Amino acid sequence: MGRPEDTLAAARAGDARAFETLARTEEGALYGHVARILGPGADAEDVVQDALLSAWRSIGSFNASGGASFRAWLFRIARNRAIAVIRARRRKGEVPLEPDPEEGGSDWAEPVEGGPDLLTIAAGREAFAAVELALASVPPEQRDALLLRDVEGFSYDEIALITGSAAGTVRSRIHRARLAVRNALVTRGWTGSAG
């Protein structure tokens, strides 16, 4: 059971330990992703744990020939649960509704002369704190798409499968989210120089 394919085959055959081996490699990444959608804490932990349990129970339905990798399949389950929590929060008025992807949010903030360049910002923890703040200000669906691309490295097609969205919607969400982070950094004085 050394190769990932063998481990996956064993898990699909009902080997719980094989599934745990697979889940253990993705546990941290799944939590990191869900925590950035819901905010870190018990909600995100519960969502990931429930998602892994759900994945185990339905692993027989996973079809590698369907185009999605096992990793993408896991992210899809966890991400769908996280978005369901977001929607529940929206119903309670805790989270604003997602803006229309075709409207607004496409303006580019202009950098102020004399601000720090990217290398200066990236050199300190302050930069990452600024990025996290900027991400938190992005609508959850856009943030989801951006993180799946920039942090997890999924292709646009995989993100479309994971989120159940059209390719154009994925492109739009990623661009808007990235632009929002860029503008947030610019408002903190970043000149926009790539260094």
Partner 1 sequence: MHSHPEGDLSAYADESSAPERTAELTAHLAGCARCARRVDELRAVRGLVAAAPAPRPSRSLLPRLSRAPAWLRPARSLASVGAGTFLFLFLASAVLNSGSNLGGGTTAAERAAARGQLNLPAASDSARADAARATGATGPAVAAPAASQGTPGAVGNTPPGPRAVPAGEQVAAARREFGPPAWLFALLAMGSAGLALGLHRRLRRS
Residue 1 binding partner 1, by CB under 8 A: no
- Residue span binding partner 1 (CB under 8 A) among the ranges 60-68, 80-88, 92-100, 170-178: 170-178
Q: How many residues bind partner 1 (CB under 8 A)?
A: 52
Read off φ and ψ for residue 158, nearest 5 degrees: -65, -40
Query: Three-state DSSP class for 69?
Result: coil
Residue 98 binding partner 1, by CB under 8 A: no
Alpha-carbon distance values, 150 to 11, 33, 146, 153, 154 (Å): 29, 11, 6, 6, 8
Residue 188 binding partner 1, by CB under 8 A: no
H or E stretch covering 45: helix 42-57
Residue 60 binding partner 1, by CB under 8 A: no
Return residues touching partner 1 (CB under 8 A): 16-17, 19-20, 23-24, 27-33, 35-36, 40, 44-45, 48-49, 52-53, 56, 106, 108, 118, 121-122, 127-128, 131-132, 135, 146-147, 149-151, 155-156, 171-172, 174-175, 178-179, 181-182, 185, 192, 194-195
